[in-house]
Amino acid sequence: MTETNDGCLRVGQMAPDFNATAVVDQTFKSVKLSDYRGQYVVLFFYPLDFTFVCPTEIAAFSDRHAEFKALNAEILGISVDSEFAHLAWIQTERKLGGVGDLSYPLVSDIKRDISAAYNVLDTESGVALRGLFIIDRDGVLQHATINNLAFGRKVDETLRVLQAIQHVQDNPNEVCPVDWQPGGKTMTPDPIKAREFFAGV
């Protein structure tokens, strides 16, 4: 595991822990990242409740939540809104721009310290960019992407990356090549043994 002292979050480091209020099943609950040790966590930041791209992402992840749970993973959505704004948004129907009932917690980062810790806070606008982080069972950050505000992410790609992470952790003598899908060919990271993979492509 890598450690740095420059304040920049990088893959291979422990993911910054946090303790914050979340909306879970339309109730307020204290959530700590460290509560999910032993599970994978897909932590994604989005700019604001009651906006435009955000509800499409949040609803899409909720609709596919069972697929993540089957992979021993929990999803946590987070923005700089209060838990009260989250609750109001959840209580608003999707056809009216709300997100409806969700299958995973929406976390409030009203003090913006979590967004800052994950290096996604846009200080000019005061909101988080679309950061997505996959954290493994030991709390280590394995994947990070950050989109600008105007375009959303892809649930299928998040699932694919999660599955690739799990595959290489369960099979430490293998690596996953480009566009790898579960059941696809992997590679042995050895200059001689890798020739078998390259000979087949």
* Residues forming the active site: 54
Class of residue 173 by CB neighbours under 10 A (exposed 0-12, middle 13-18, buried 19+)? exposed
CA distance 76 to 73: 10
> Other CB atoms closer than 10 Å to residue 112's CB: what's the count?
14
Quote the tokens at residue 186: 């992997």
Which is it for strands 127-128 and 121-122: parallel, antiparallel or unpaired?
Answer: antiparallel
Per-residue CA distances from 53 to 48, 85, 128, 166, 168 (Å): 10, 17, 13, 29, 33
Please say whether the beta carbons of 64 and 55 come within 8 A: no
Per-residue CA distances from 25 to 87, 99, 153, 180 (Å): 9, 13, 24, 35
Quote the tokens at residue 142: 């394995």
